[in-house]
């Protein structure tokens, strides 16, 4: 588990001057902070409990650091958000760092095979990497002689601590985020080596040992064990998050259901904004400003709708403002976020609905009346993930005028 011998207070490493030794996070990261973020306190306790080798840098070069590439197999463990990295959030941090802002809390990275994986502070770390002011504080959990799989386990645990709801959080885990973390936590249990002696995997080994005592043919007992484990995991890791039994049932189904999915109905306006700007990074999402209606009269019209409602009122939404004179703009490009029907449960039904949406949107764009009346062309079509736990995902399309069809974003 890294190197356990006592280290000097500071040492020169390939990344610069590092503060090291026992309880280095408390002695360096919490300086001048009156009320410590409970997430960082939890990471500190975890590091101390397992005697992990940790380095703290007052001045770390994010631009030249060997950060793992997005396609690395362990990056998913490092990104505890179900939607992954949001480019707009990263770009916002970059601008703030360009303007001189400094980190309150260091990012926490885990070393695996010479690469650094951002466990806490993905968006902040990558924002610093692209900023002109690319040096700031950092914490690195070193690998030492620990196997990659054990380091991955450490990385996952650190990452899942980072967005836990506390009294200080501004952007805590969503239900989808927690479903992903639960699924990964259970996978860590099932995949752990029972013969491993690393203390960071004591928990996984103990749960697996109890699980393996159950008759493999007793599906009901196996399922009951996993449900009880889930309740215990939530209480330990997300004590303030979604405490109602209905919400927890949805999170559980999102993690383990193989056929039916749980509808995602908790998207906020900010969630939709981050989703759209992730799919179309050249555009901002601001429907209150980007509207064809008076007094804005913009050439881009942005709306967020639920499909069944929009299907019934498409003409009213897109044509009536022009016919009534409420819009005086021509050649309008429409950006639409469409949330799926609330009744959807199966992936097959979700895919059929997407086909229907594309067919009707294409019909609108190709209709001769749309062009002759100067109505808006649907240019950007965004369909955020509708079901958790059954393979559903985000979808986004751009209109191709030459081919008269929507082209899926990659």
Dump pLDDT digits (tens) for 348-388.
888 989 999 999 999 999 999 898 888 999 999 999 998 87
The predicted model gives 292-315 an average pLDDT of 90
Whether residue 8 is predicted with pLDDT greater than 50 in this model: the reply is no
Q: Please give the share of the chain, as a percent, with pLDDT higher than 70.
A: 90
Residues 54 and 125 in one domain: yes
CA distance linking residue 140 with residue 57, whole number of Å: 8
Looking at residue 275, what is its pLDDT?
Answer: 92
Residues 287 and 365 in one domain: yes
Residue 178 lies in a domain: no
Residues 308 and 350 in one domain: yes
Q: What is the pLDDT of residues 19-53, one digit of tens each?
A: 998 888 888 877 665 567 788 888 999 999 999 99
Helix (H, G, I), strand (E, B) or coil at 397: strand
Looking at residue 6, what is its pLDDT?
Answer: 46
Residues 376 and 281 in one domain: yes
Longest Cα–Cα distance of the chain, Å, equals 78
CA distance linking residue 271 with residue 120, whole number of Å: 20
Residues 157 and 195 in one domain: no
How many residues are given for the chain?
A: 410
Pair 162, 41: CB distance under 8 Å: no
CA distance linking residue 387 with residue 149, whole number of Å: 30
Pair 291, 299: CB distance under 8 Å: no
Q: Which residue has the higher pLDDT, 7 or 150?
A: 150
Q: Using 50, 70 and 90 to split pLDDT, how confident is the model at 164?
A: low
Closest CA to 56 of 75, 34, 77, 40: 40
The distance of Cα 226 from the centroid of its chain, to the nearest Å, equals 25
Other CB atoms within 10 Å distance of the CB of residue 226: 18
Pair 80, 173: CB distance under 8 Å: yes
Residues 283 and 376 in one domain: yes
Whether residue 341 is predicted with pLDDT greater than 90 in this model: the reply is no
The count of domains in the chain is 3
Residues 311 and 337 in one domain: yes
Q: Using 50, 70 and 90 to split pLDDT, how confident is the model at 167?
A: very low
Other CB atoms within 10 Å distance of the CB of residue 120: 24
Q: How do beta strands 405-408 and 135-141 pair?
A: unpaired
Looking at residue 333, what is its pLDDT?
Answer: 96
Residue 63 lies in a domain: yes
Q: Which residue has the higher pLDDT, 267 or 109?
A: 109
CA distance linking residue 356 with residue 350, whole number of Å: 10
Q: Please tell me the pTM assigned to this model.
A: 0.62
End-to-end CA distance of the chain: 40
Last-in-domain residue among 166, 199, 223: 166
Last-in-domain residue among 100, 135, 166: 166
DSSP state of 280: -
Kindly give the residue spans of alpha helices, DSSP state H, lying in 216-346: 219-237, 245-256, 269-279, 307-318, 320-323
Whether residue 331 is predicted with pLDDT greater than 90 in this model: the reply is no
Average model confidence (pLDDT) across the chain: 87
Question: In 62-218, which ranges are E strands?
Answer: 107-112, 115-120, 135-141
Pair 166, 175: CB distance under 8 Å: no
Residues 244 and 355 in one domain: no
Looking at residue 141, what is its pLDDT?
Answer: 97
Looking at residue 314, what is its pLDDT?
Answer: 87
Q: Which helix (H) or strand (E) holds 407?
A: strand 405-408
Backbone angles phi, psi at 311, to 5 degrees: -60, -40
Whether residue 3 is predicted with pLDDT greater than 60 in this model: the reply is no
Q: Using 50, 70 and 90 to split pLDDT, how confident is the model at 75?
A: confident
Look up the domain containing 252 and give its range. 184-256
The predicted model gives 329-343 an average pLDDT of 87
Residue 4 lies in a domain: no
Q: Please give the share of the chain, as a percent, with pLDDT higher than 90.
A: 51
Residue 95 lies in a domain: yes
Q: Lowest mean pLDDT: which of 54-58, 172-176, 290-294? A: 172-176
Q: Using 50, 70 and 90 to split pLDDT, how confident is the model at 243?
A: confident
Residue 2 lies in a domain: no
Residues 34 and 123 in one domain: yes
Q: Using 50, 70 and 90 to split pLDDT, how confident is the model at 207?
A: very high
Residue 47 lies in a domain: yes
Looking at residue 78, what is its pLDDT?
Answer: 62
Last-in-domain residue among 256, 278, 300: 256
Residue 388 lies in a domain: yes
Residues 161 and 18 in one domain: yes
Residues 16 and 157 in one domain: yes
The predicted model gives 130-138 an average pLDDT of 97
The predicted model gives 114-142 an average pLDDT of 94
Residues 323 and 280 in one domain: yes
Residue 175 lies in a domain: no
């Amino acid at each position: 588990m890294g190197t356990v011998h006592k280290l000097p207070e500071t040492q020169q490493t390939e990344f610069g001057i590092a503060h090291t030794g026992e309880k280095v996070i408390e002695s360096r990261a919490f300086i001048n902070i009156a009320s410590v973020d409970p997430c960082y306190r939890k990471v500190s306790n975890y590091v101390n409990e397992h005697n992990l080798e940790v380095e703290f840098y007052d001045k770390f070069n994010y631009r030249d650091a060997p950060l793992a590439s997005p396609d690395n197999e362990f990056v998913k463990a490092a990104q505890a958000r179900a939607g992954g990295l949001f480019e707009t959030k990263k770009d916002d941090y970059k601008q703030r760092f360009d303007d001189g802002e400094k980190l309150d809390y260091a990012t926490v990275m885990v070393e695996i095979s010479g690469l650094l994986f951002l466990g806490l502070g993905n968006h902040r770390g990558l924002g610093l990497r692209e900023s002109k002011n690319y040096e700031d504080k950092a914490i690195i959990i070193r690998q030492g002689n620990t196997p990659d799989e054990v380091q991955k386990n450490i990385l996952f645990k650190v990452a899942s601590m980072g967005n836990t709801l506390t009294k200080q959080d501004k952007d805590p885990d969503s239900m989808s985020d927690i479903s992903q973390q639960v699924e990964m936590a259970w996978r860590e249990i099932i995949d752990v080596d029972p013969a491993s002696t690393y203390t960071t995997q004591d928990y996984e080994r103990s749960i697996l040992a109890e699980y393996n005592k159950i008759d493999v043919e007793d599906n009901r007992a196996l399922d009951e064990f996993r449900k009880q484990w889930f309740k215990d995991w939530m209480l330990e890791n997300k004590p303030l998050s979604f405490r109602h039994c209905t919400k927890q049932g949805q999170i559980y189904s999102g993690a383990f259901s193989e056929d039916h999915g749980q509808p995602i109905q908790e998207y906020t306006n900010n969630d939709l904004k981050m989703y759209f700007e992730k799919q179309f990074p050249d555009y901002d999402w601001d429907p209150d400003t980007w509207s064809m209606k008076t007094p804005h009269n913009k050439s881009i019209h942005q709306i967020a709708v639920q499909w069944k409602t929009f299907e019934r009122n498409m003409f009213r939404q897109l044509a009536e403002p022009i016919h009534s004179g409420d819009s005086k703009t021509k050649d309008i490009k429409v950006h639409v976020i469409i949330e799926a029907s609330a009744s959807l449960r199966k992936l097959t039904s979700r895919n059929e609905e997407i086909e229907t949406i594309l067919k009707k949107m294409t019909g609108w764009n190709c209709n001769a009346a749309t062009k002759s009346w100067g109505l808006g062309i649907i240019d950007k079509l965004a369909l955020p993930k509708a079901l958790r736990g059954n393979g559903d995902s985000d979808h986004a399309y751009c209109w191709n005028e030459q081919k008269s069809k929507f082209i899926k974003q990659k």
